Structure 1
Amino acid sequence: MSQPAPTLPPALLAHQLADAPRYRDDAAGKPGAAPLAVLAPRSAQDAAAILRALQSAGLAAVVQGGRTGLSGGARVQPGEVVLSTERLTAPPVVDPVAATMTLGAGVPLETAQQAARDHGLYLAADLGARGSATVGGMAATNAGGPLALRYGTFRQQVLGLEAVLPDGTIVSRLGGLAKDNSGLDLSQYLIGSEGVLGLITRLVLRLHPAPTARRVAVCALEGAAQALALLPVLRAGLGPLLQACELIIDPLLSETCARRGLRYPFATPAAAVLLVEVAGPDPAADAARLETVLGAALETGQIADAVLSASEADCLRLWALRDGCSHYLIENAGPLTSLDLSLPLPAIPAFLDQAAALCAGRARPYVFGHLGDGNLHYILACPPDDALTTQVFALTARHGGVITAEHGIGLDKVRWLPLCRDAAEIAAMARIKGAIDPGFILNPGRIFGTPA
């Protein structure tokens, strides 16, 4: 006999939103269950009241931000309540002297970026989903993106935060101090925890001096090995100006240009293309330095060809090649399995050769990613194939890599976590979760499953 559906405590009705299909999953695209309710607190105090009521009722909740993740972390499981951050939108407050920004967790990244620009400062984080991804979700997943090469992941951009633990306790470190060794840094425990340890409600972010201008180049290469050989040359020649280094393995760029009406940058297709961005305080000198470094690489045969931007419009046009790859795959490549991998840089060429052999006759792999930090988006164009996914993940682990770089474990990668974390580490993580959330009511099943 089926059990009756649990009912929502009356105290929570004031925070309830109408259910809609968008709340049932994240960008991974797998169908989720209809939530028991969608609750949206406006403050930490609201969130605390909600979590206490859920604890008392024995109900579980899944936290949702912009729902741009690709690991199923925001997908609703049967009987779960959605706890949305969409009303946690305290507007950005910038301190230009301290170079910090305080804002609500539900604020979109693009809004935060513009607020920094309005004060002549720079938020050193960017994603293709900048209009939807929220700063709280980026902290919860420790998001990366192309700027991680120069500035680090989102963890490095967070100076403090306010969060609500599963029992309704509010913890707040919003002082924004650059140095604070007064005990354990609870903010860092919560960053990258995928919402299993608490709901982030506000953040203090680190800002940087705004670059005066940027320059972008795309380079034609013979393959991934040549791209890796070029990377130390770029680092040595460009120093702190080097802001992004994005790798695209063909045929992805050729197909993207053909299907999306983009101009391919070279006369003949290159096996690999590297997009390089520099940004600094002196536009003329920075552009000259980039031209000098790439000119020397052309003379020595390290690159076959290069196209350099001459204006911001050119920068946007060249970045559209990289961004267009994601759009092409989503719109035209059919069923996909997106594998978000992190590999030691020296292992990337061998991994790509061996992974291609695994995929032969089974799936068409598309590869692009953030070369400077070893993050590859390895996309399998084929119907779902758990056996092939397992083999690619196992190969990643054998090369010293991990099965997720930016999108977390969520629900979809739990079974494969032991490939890159040993039993003692997983047990330690579960003990921390059990101590803070003994009822496992917040994001249950994510990262390490549920207790036996």
Structure 2
Amino acid sequence: MNQEAFLAALGEALGAGQVLRGEAIAERHRSDWSGVAPVLPLALVRPRDTREVSAVLRLCSEHRVPVVPQGGLTGLAGAAVPRADAIALSLERMNAIESLDAAAGTLTVQAGATLQSVQEAAAARGLLFGVDFGARGSCQIGGALSTNAGGNGVLQFGMMREQALGLEVVLADGRVLPMLRPMLKNNTGYDLKQFFIGAEGTLGVITRALLRLHPAPRAKATALVALPDFEAALVLLRRLGARFPGALAAFELMWRDFVQTSLRWQQLREPFDAAHPLVALVDVAGEDEAALREALEAALAGAMEEGAAVDAAIAQSQSQARAFWKIREATAELPVHMHPPINLDVSLPMASIGRFADDCRAALDARWPGHHSLFFGHVGDSNLHVTTDGRAIGGEAEAFERMVYAQVEARGGSISAEHGIGLHKKPYLGASRTPDELAAMRAIKQALDPLHLLNPGKVFDL
């Protein structure tokens, strides 16, 4: 590769200011939220539309230059960390909300638009986008699709995959796949867009998306429910799912270690008169707030009668509901209070989650007495987060990961529920994928990116 000739061709194709080099590349483009050591890329390229993305990838293909796509850089697995021999391709300038069809419940958006901008555009028309998580103000739609992100709304609406009616994708050689078709029913061969959702930019670059929107609920009821054990949590989940079919918007489960830590960090009051092994945070959507609270109260009273709940508090206002959610959102405090936090994001068969948490805690107690570990998660969609303070385990992050992932593998679970593989989880991918599955994935990669230029070294090695 003639590096100078390549960079000159990039500058000519995109214009001044679109290609940055050396110290002109901001620190934030040298890594992501994963904590992977920063790397200065060959160049940072910031296209403004699909045509320019296509031109960039065509040049990279011709000159054999690797490409690392970057969204909002909020990923926790290292998928957006650049390489010294690669360009970083930032979609931040491609942030337009192009159109919204309220009657059809669809929104067309460029990949660099933030999740929050999509949510606000939908809300302005009385609609709701079905995915939400804490990085909403920074993360980008393209990145969320590329990692098939989840978050708080999965139980009701599904992950990002379920929100995507269509995609526009640029392949490694610059060809554009125009898959922005709004029909739910379209059985014309392979559903190609699915190859790129969750692929972490290794198969193509998502440039635009046609997203599904939902009617915004007129009311929401929120409750904290104290539980005696995990089996009771499953009983409560089934009861609420049956009582509010399609309207159970959240079922967040917090073990005592998480609740106690959250209250201490944020200087909050205990939500109940006594401490309990588990606390569920529940959101139910509906049409009338008073009627919804009454129905939720009756459902929780029934759960308490049969021993599936010990105590419950129903928010009487939106401010009280936000206060309940503040307990769960202590995850924003992890980087401040843990040194560093080691975050694992797994999913398991639902019936196995309680025993998995108990066995993990016992193994941690045996190896690192005095460790500070937290168990919490969405659980209603089989997702559990395990976080420990790196300093409290002597910085043995890899040993911690091996221990937890061995427990996941033994139960037939997934080492990544919603954060992807990137660099962090690549060594453990075999715990959740068979050799034949990995071979099929490599065959797809070879077919769509034969030169292995797109996000090389991420997810798996070729």
TM-score bucket (shorter structure):
over 0.9
Q: Secondary structure at the match of 1:251?
A: helix
Residue 375 of structure 1, aligned match among 383, 388, 409: 383
TM-aligned CA deviation for residue 4 of structure 1: 10
2:318 and 2:113 map into 1 onto residues whose CA distance is 27
Distance, in Å, in 2 between the alignment partners of 1:285 and 1:258 is 34
Alignment pair present for 1:336 and 2:341: yes
Q: Secondary structure at the match of 1:367?
A: strand
Structure 2 Cα separation of the partners of residues 308 and 211 of structure 1: 18
2:191 paired residue number: 185
TM-score by length of 2: 0.94
Matched, 1:200 2:212: no
Residue 39 of structure 1 aligns with which residue? 45
Q: Deviations over 1:281-304 (max 9, x none)?
A: 232322221111011112333211
| Distance in 2, Cα, partners of 1:97 & 1:153 | 23
- Once the two structures are superposed, residues 163-186 of structure 1 have per-residue CA deviations (whole angstroms, 9 ceiling, x without a partner) of 101110100111311211122111
1:75-114 aligned within 5 A = 75-114=81-120
1:327 aligns with 2:332: yes
Match of 1:125 among 120, 131, 150: 131
Over residues 140-172 of structure 1, what are the superposed CA-to-partner deviations in whole Å (9 max), with x where a residue is unaligned? 111111211011111011000111011101001
Q: 1:62 aligns with which of 25, 45, 68?
A: 68
Q: Distance in 2 between matches of 1:418 and 1:6?
A: 40
Is the 1:92–1:112 Cα contact (8 Å) retained in structure 2? no
Length, aligned pairs only: 447
CA distance in 2, matches of 1:122, 1:226: 31
The residue aligned with 1:386 is 398
> CA–CA distance in 1 between the matches of 2:98 and 2:36?
33
Q: Superposed, which structure 2 residues align to 1:159-170 within 5 Å?
A: 159-170=165-176
Q: Greater CA deviation, 362-371 or 198-207?
A: 362-371
Aligned-residue Cα RMSD (Å) equals 1.6
d(CA) in 1 for partners of 2:74, 2:81: 11
Select the residue among 9, 14, 19 that pairs with 1:16: 19
Indicate which of 443, 448, 451 corresponds to 2:460.
Answer: 448
Give the C-alpha shift of residue 237 in structure 1: 1.9
TM-score, structure 1 normalization: 0.96
Contact in 1 for aligned 2:169/2:206 (Cα 8 Å): yes
Alignment counterpart, residue 315 of structure 1, candidates 318, 321, 327:
321
SS in 2 for 1:279: strand
Is 2:166–2:179's contact at 8 Å kept on the other side of the alignment?
A: yes
| In 2, Cα distance between equivalents of 1:219 and 1:6 | 62
Q: Which amino acid in structure 2 is aligned with residue 409 of structure 1? A: I
Q: Which runs of 4+ in 1 moved over 6 A?
A: 3-7
Find the residue that maps to 1:240 and give its secondary structure: coil
2:244 corresponds in structure 1 to: 238
Deviation at 1:333?
2.0
Write the letter of the residue equivalent to 1:16: V
Aligned AA for 2:347? S
TM alignment of 1:195-274, pairs within 5 A: 195-274=201-280
> What is the CA–CA distance in structure 2 between the aligned matches of 1:241 and 1:91, rounded to whole Å?
28
Q: Tell me the amino acid that sits aligned with residue 422 of structure 1.
A: T
Match of 1:350 in 2: 355
| Cα contact 1:65–1:84 (8 A) shared by 2 | yes
Which residue is 1:300 aligned to? 306
Are 2:414 and 1:406 equivalent residues in the alignment?
no
Task: Describe the superposition over 1:314-350 as per-residue Cα deviations: whole angstroms up to 9, x where unpaired.
Answer: 22111111112x0222211222211110111000111
Q: In the TM superposition, what whole-angstrom CA distance separates every residue of 1:252-289 from its partner, at most 9, and x where no partner exists?
A: 21121112122321122222110000012232322221
Aligned counterparts of 2:119 and 2:420: Cα–Cα separation in 1: 23
> Quick check: 112-121 or 381-390, which moved more?
381-390
Structure 1 Cα separation of the partners of residues 349 and 139 of structure 2: 27
Q: Offset of 1:16 from its aligned partner? A: 1.4
Structure 1 268/6 Cα, relative in aligned 2: closer, same or farther at 3 Å? farther
CA–CA separation in structure 2 for the residues paired with 1:381 and 1:209: 41
Could you give the per-residue CA deviations for residues 339-394 of structure 1, whole angstroms, max 9, x where no partner exists?
A: 11011100011111111122114243211110101101111222243123112101
Which whole-Å CA distance do the structure 2 matches of 1:408 and 1:182 have between them?
A: 29
- Per-residue CA deviations over 1:79-129 (Å, capped at 9, x if unaligned) read 221111101112241101111000111101011001001111111110111
Q: Measured at CA, do residues 5 and 250 of structure 1 come closer, stay the same or move farther in structure 2, by a change above 3 Å?
A: farther
Q: What corresponds to 2:434 in structure 1?
A: 422
Q: Deviations over 1:25-61 (max 9, x none)?
A: 1111121211111111111110010011111221111
Which residue does the alignment assign to 2:147?
141
TM-superposed deviation, 1:73: 0.5
Shift of residue 7 of structure 1? 6.7
Once structures 1 and 2 are overlaid, which stretch shifts more, 74-83 or 432-441? 74-83
Measured after TM superposition, the shift of residue 229 of structure 1 is: 2.6
Provide the rounded CA distance (Å) in 2 between the counterparts of 1:76 and 1:278.
Answer: 41
Deviation at residue 8 of structure 1 after TM alignment = 4.3
Contact 1:100/1:206 (8 A) holds in 2: yes
User: SS of the residue aligned with 1:205?
Assistant: strand
C-alpha change, 1:92 and 1:77, in structure 2 (3 Å) is: same
Tell me the distance in 1 between the aligned counterparts of 2:8 and 2:210. Answer: 34
Q: Residue type of the partner of 1:11?
A: A
Please tell me whether the aligned partners of residues 250 and 270 of structure 1 are also in contact (alpha carbons under 8 angstroms). yes
Give distance in 2, aligned partners of 1:127 and 1:248: 17
Contact 2:6/2:59 (8 A) holds in 1: no
Question: Counterpart of 1:103 in 2: which secondary structure?
Answer: strand
